[in-house]
Amino acid sequence: MSRHVSTGKTRNKFLSSTATFILGAVAMAQTAQATEELNALVWCDHTDPALIEPFEEKYDVKVNLKEYEGTGAGLSIIEQSRPGDWDVFVIDGVDVHRAVEMGVLAEIPADALPTSDIFPEVVMAENNVVDGKTYAVTEKFGYNTISFDKTKVDPKDMEDMSVIWSDKYAGRIAVYDYYLPVIGLVGLGLGIDTADLGADDMPAIKEKLFAMKKVSKQVGEVVSSQTALATGEVDILVGGGEWITAVLSEEKPNLDWIIPKQGGLRWAQSIGVMKDSEKPDLALKFVQYIMSPEGQARLATSSCYWGMPANAKAGENLTDAQKAALRWDDQEGYLKNSQLYPIPDADLDAEMQDAWVEMLQQ
Amino acid sequence: MATASLETRENRRAWGFVTPALLWTVAFFVIPFIVMAAISLATRKGREIIMAWNFDNYIEFFEKAHLLKGLFVSLEITLTVTIISVILAYPLAWIIAERVPQKWQRMALIMAILPFWTSYVVRSYSWLLVLAQNGVINNTLVYLGVISEPLELASTRSATVIGFVHFFVMLLTLTIYANLVQMPPNYRRAAADLGANGFQVFWHVVLPLTLPGIMVGAFLTFVLCIGDYITPQILGGNNELALPQVIMLQLGRRADFPMAATLSIILMVVVTMAYIACARWLKMERT
């Protein structure tokens, strides 16, 4: 008996030592894997290993990614961080000015970026360049419009924005939980251009927001919205677009999206280097990698959501099926019939957010 | 003289034991609370926080219906969850304490609290899969012909309540069970000898004696439930916002720390009131 116990103890000790050794070896291997670390505050499409790993391998660096949704959330994270915590920042194209005013972004040498390869409509110099200095570059764009299951709804109904607050599809609508594009869409539905949207328009917009909430089943972030549409929980997604449906194009050919006759919202995400970064050169290399044709193709088809690459040369690295899912050839028409996000000042932004919470509480 | 010296030594020893706990409480509760209370008196203007030292945020909370509603939603959900959890946990604890043979009681308790071992977030997402339109419940009911169209279970307040109840029934079962097994069987025998029937024994003897266990469990349920953000966020489908969700919106989207601090203070006041109510009822306060 005592021999048995002793053997058991010896075995346990051996297992414990082996486990400690293995854990130690793994920890050492991880340390040895990357000599440097880069911290990037990004949208979820950048968290795809297929996008990040080639950069990590090439530069022997570990890229730490934190994802967020909505500029307010991103700026809030930065405010709660210490200077130097972040090296790279992905931000809504229309909000680059806000970030520059806050002193968050560093100037990027214009000649370090492939600006001439970017689709002219999305260069967005008025957003990415401040006082003649380039602070960010558009990396990806797409549309916030209406995604739907074409086997369950009449696609013709989707051509009119008013469908999002009509009773016809009550209980079958999901709303993307991001106030800016959805308020912009409601504004377009009321005939208000995003550039003209002001505080005077908010009562009418609120009324339609509340009507939309009444007929919707849920208001959710990217993943839950996509899941709801993909699993048939809902048939329409307000605020959706190719970024929701393209990634599912092979598995769910029944999902489609449209820009209604009133127009759609064009989103464009920009990437820049943080002003307080302690590794500005490496951060710039990351930006350059993301803007390269290879990086752009990977970003466009990221596992979180797809979107058009800003760099036209990315097309060489995309398959025909991927380009078809992104509707590569239809972009000219889409660009004409879409508007950028509203750019509210602090007061209007607060009013919009209040309206959004009010809507959620309906 | 010797007695005084002994008393001094005892006092020093006592302070020696208490000081670490006091320092911990001051460092991690009192100071953060004072800071939070001070921030709640500031104002957010644009992206700047101005120390205004006024009660504007508190006034705004009571003036803006969508903020106030967060508190009512939280209270409604919490009270519903607490009542349902007590109703379900009591019979479960009773069965384990009274009907399960003693040698199996430990195993029965482990089985009852098994869901505790899984991650809270995973458990909430699992409920989403169970309650979804194409989830286990709807598919089963449709397959059995009980319903023809799936029920709206997910993304509702009911889903939030179900997720919470699943968690808190386990907690309440433990506190009530602990009370039940401590109760000497002689009390019930004496009541029965004096002519009380089964219901009378339960109503006049067992229930009052297990009330502390119920109230402790109910208070813990109340505190944990009213401050929870995860379950309403995952299972509620953002169709209404509980107060912790409203607080998160202030932090995550607006970086409005003063308003978030104000809402947090209000939440603490509600929890304190709940404690006072429970403490009085149970006569737990020192006299």
**Contact check, Cβ <8 Å, B155/A75:** no
Confidence at A29, pLDDT banded by 50, 70, 90: very low
Percentage of the residues of chain A whose pLDDT score is greater than 70: 91
Residue A60 has pLDDT above 50, yes or no: yes
DSSP state of A110: G
- Structure-token pair, residue A318: 């995309």
Contacts with A76 from chain B: Cβ below 8 Å: 251-255
- Structure-token pair, residue A112: 């370090």
* pLDDT value, residue A24: 47
**Contact check, Cβ <8 Å, A357/B241:** yes
Instruction: Confirm if A286 and A176 have CB atoms less than 8 A apart.
Output: no
Instruction: Confirm if B259 and B250 have CB atoms less than 8 A apart.
Output: yes
A183: buried, middle or exposed (CB in 10 Å: 19+, 13-18, 0-12)?
Answer: buried
**Contact check, Cβ <8 Å, B66/A358:** yes
For tokens 């020893």, name the residue: B13
Its ipTM equals: 0.78
Within an 8 Å CB–CB cutoff, is residue B283 touching chain A? Answer: no
What is the identity of the amino acid at A156?
Answer: K
Residue A159 has pLDDT above 60, yes or no: yes
Give the closest residue to A136 by CA, choosing from A118, A145, A124, A154.
A124
Contacts with A350 from chain B: Cβ below 8 Å: 254
A40 CB contacts (<8 Å, ≥6 apart)?
A46, A63, A64, A65, A66, A86, A87, A88, A89, A90, A286
* pLDDT value, residue A27: 44
The per-residue DSSP string of A34-67 comes to -SEEEEEEE-GGGG-HHHHHHHHHHHTEEEEEEE
B273 CB contacts (<8 Å, ≥6 apart)?
none
- Structure-token pair, residue B202: 């339960």
Is the model more confident about A94 or about A26? Answer: A94
Q: What is the pLDDT of residues B201-214, one digit of tens each?
A: 999 999 999 998 89
Q: Determine whether domain A36-139+271-318 maps to CATH 3.40.30.10.
A: no
CA distance A199 to A313: 41
Query: Directed axis angle between helix B65-94 and helix B157-182, to 10°?
Result: 40
**Contact check, Cβ <8 Å, B47/A220:** no
> Best residue in B66, B124, B128, B247 to probe A by mutation, most A CBs within 10 Å?
B66
Q: Under CATH, to which class is A142-266+340-360 assigned?
A: alpha beta
What is the identity of the amino acid at A283?
Answer: A
**Do A142-266+340-360 and A36-139+271-318 have the same topology in CATH?**
yes
Residue B114 has pLDDT above 50, yes or no: yes
CA distance A323 to A316: 10
Q: Per CB distance under 8 Å, which residues of A are interface residues toward B?
A: 70, 72-73, 75-76, 79-80, 102, 171, 177, 217-220, 224, 231-233, 346-347, 350, 353-354, 357-358, 360-361
Q: What is the pLDDT of residues B125-146, one digit of tens each?
A: 899 889 988 889 999 999 999 9
* pLDDT value, residue A88: 97
What is the DSSP pairing of strand A36-42 with strand A88-92? parallel
Confidence at B185, pLDDT banded by 50, 70, 90: confident
* pLDDT value, residue A304: 87
- Structure-token pair, residue A280: 């500005």
CA distance A192 to A187: 5
Residue A315 has pLDDT above 80, yes or no: yes
* pLDDT value, residue B21: 94
* pLDDT value, residue B281: 61
| Chain centroid to CA B119 | 17
Mean pLDDT of A220-243: 88
Q: What is the pLDDT of residues B220-261, one digit of tens each?
A: 999 999 999 999 998 988 889 999 999 998 887 778 899 999
What is the DSSP pairing of strand A137-149 with strand A255-258? antiparallel
The per-residue DSSP string of B8-74 comes to HHHHHHHHHHHHHHHHHHIIIIIHHHHHHHHHTTSEEETTEEE---SSHHHHHHHH-HHHHHHHHHH
CA distance B238 to B228: 14
Within an 8 Å CB–CB cutoff, is residue B237 touching chain A? Answer: yes
Mean pLDDT of A163-185: 94
* pLDDT value, residue B2: 63
In chain B, the domains with their CATH numbers are 69-281 (1.10.3720.10)
DSSP, collapsed to helix, strand or coil, labels residue A118 as strand
A32: buried, middle or exposed (CB in 10 Å: 19+, 13-18, 0-12)?
Answer: exposed
Q: What is the pLDDT of residues A70-79, one digit of tens each?
A: 888 898 899 8
CA distance A63 to A89: 13
Within an 8 Å CB–CB cutoff, is residue B48 touching chain A? Answer: no
DSSP state of A79: H
Question: Can you give the residue ranges of every domain in chain A?
Answer: 1-33, 36-139+271-318, 142-266+340-360
Instruction: Confirm if A257 and A245 have CB atoms less than 8 A apart.
Output: yes
Distances (CA, A) of A15 to A4, A7, A9, A21, A22: 16, 12, 10, 10, 10
Q: What is the pLDDT of residues A114-147, one digit of tens each?
A: 999 999 989 999 999 999 999 999 999 999 999 9
Q: What is the pLDDT of residues B61-98, one digit of tens each?
A: 999 999 999 999 999 999 999 999 999 999 999 999 98
Mean pLDDT of B268-284: 82
